[in-house]
């Protein structure tokens, strides 16, 4: 933005600036750091990275087949344009593809799909442009949908969508239980049929891809960058725009917060139970207040500045000089005169 004329303004900007709204920086998804270009990405499910309030240890074992390692090879070496019209197995039980695959009855039968999960634009859903109930009824499989009007609604849909996939996988497993012994289910390995899920949208590269990334973060404990890299190795044509990346990053922060809180609650409950068994416990210390984060020995008390600065924030303020965004134009005029 050009500086105002000294004859018509009483203030001038101290530095160049723009009048456009600020925009966040781009989220870069780098190429995975691997020893060799042909080396695959590997993910091993770990309960330490899972929110204990969402899944039990046994549930995670059922869904992941006792923590089976998931492997992704770089599909860029063998990718063909036509590959975008089919679906790829992101996990050994979860496929990602376009809506045309959900209408391919032969493909669904050949891959033993048991759940169709559509990520639909709410306006298109109202027009029934992606109807899948008929196909699901013909094949005797389950059909679910997630209808959103924009990426901003996905952040609320992620938890319920992840739960739908997990509930389906557990339901298929428990539906084949022959008996129970000591609380454990007995499954016939010979006739066992595992649940298989197809997640799709119009292209298989947009909302449905975001849902699969969210699932990898919630159930496999991957961070957002790792999950995006993993899914790109599997389905090369996936390209998430900046808005979707920020939605997924926000969901990652929510997952971390929930996981931290619930693990803390479990540890506190366990410690309380142990203390109760051992004898009378000391009074529990209250939650640390804001004053406890302040350290008078490390306060940045400067003349004309703030009287207190949180110790953990001192590095942000130390050595930073004063900066006024605008200067008085009248002073410059007087100096010129």
DSSP secondary structure, 20-81, as one string: SPP-PPP---PPP--SSTTPPEEE---GGGS-TTT--HHHHHHHHTTTPPEEE--GGGT--G
Token output for 125: 């859903």
What's the rounded Cα separation, in Å, for the pair 51 and 47?
A: 8
Instruction: Give whichever of 125-129, 136-140, 319-323, 324-328 has the largest mean pLDDT.
Output: 136-140
pLDDT of amino acid 334: 54
* pTM (2 d.p.): 0.77
Instruction: Give whichever of 5-19, 123-137, 293-307 has the largest mean pLDDT.
Output: 123-137
Question: Is the Cα torsion angle 234, 236, 238, 241 positive or negative in sign?
Answer: positive
Q: Which residues of 91-113 are buried (b: 16+ CB within 10 A; e: fewer)?
A: bebbbbbbbebbbbeebbeeeeb
Please state the rounded mean pLDDT for residues 230-250: 95
pLDDT at 308 over 70: no
302 pLDDT band (50/70/90 cuts)? very low
The rounded mean pLDDT for the chain is 83
Of the two residues 207 and 179, the one the predictor is more confident about is 207
Instruction: Count CB atoms within 10 A of the CB of residue 248.
Output: 27
What's the rounded Cα separation, in Å, for the pair 232 and 107?
A: 22
CATH topology of domain 41-263: 3.90.190
Q: Which of 18-32, 189-203, 249-263 has the lowest mean pLDDT?
A: 18-32
pLDDT at 12 over 90: no
What percent of the chain has pLDDT above 70? 78
């Amino acid at each position: 933005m050009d500086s105002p004329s000294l004859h018509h303004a009483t203030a001038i900007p101290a530095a160049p600036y723009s009048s456009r709204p600020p925009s966040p920086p781009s989220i870069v998804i780098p190429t995975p750091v691997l020893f060799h270009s042909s080396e695959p990405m590997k993910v091993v499910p770990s309960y330490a990275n899972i929110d204990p309030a969402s899944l039990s240890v046994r549930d995670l074992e059922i869904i992941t087949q006792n923590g089976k390692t998931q492997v992704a090879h770089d599909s860029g070496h063998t990718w063909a344009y036509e590959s975008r019209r089919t679906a790829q197995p992101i996990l050994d039980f979860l496929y990602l593809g376009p809506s045309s695959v959900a209408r391919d009855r032969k493909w669904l039968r050949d891959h033993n799909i048991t759940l169709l999960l559509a990520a639909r634009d709410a306006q298109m859903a109202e027009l029934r442009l992606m109807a899948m109930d008929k196909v699901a009824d013909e094949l005797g499989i389950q059909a679910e949908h997630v209808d959103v009007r924009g990426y901003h609604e996905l952040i609320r849909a992620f938890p319920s969508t992840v739960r739908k996939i997990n509930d389906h996988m557990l339901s298929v497993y428990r539906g084949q239980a022959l008996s129970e012994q000591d609380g454990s289910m007995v499954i016939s390995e010979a006739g066992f049929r595992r649940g298989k899920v197809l997640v799709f949208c119009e292209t298989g590269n947009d909302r449905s891809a975001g849902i699969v990334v969210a699932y990898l973060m919630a159930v496999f404990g991957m961070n957002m960058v790792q999950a995006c890299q993993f899914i790109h190795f599997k389905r090369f044509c996936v390209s998430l725009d900046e808005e979707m990346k920020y939605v997924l990053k926000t969901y990652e922060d929510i997952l971390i917060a929930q996981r931290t809180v619930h693990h803390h609650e479990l540890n506190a409950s366990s410690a309380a139970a142990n203390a109760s068994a051992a004898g009378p416990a000391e009074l529990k210390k209250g939650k640390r207040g804001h004053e406890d984060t302040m350290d008078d020995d490390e306060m940045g008390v400067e003349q004309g500045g703030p009287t207190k600065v949180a110790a953990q924030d001192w590095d942000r303020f130390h050595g930073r000089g004063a900066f006024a965004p605008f200067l008085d134009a009248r002073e410059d005029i007087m100096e010129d005169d």
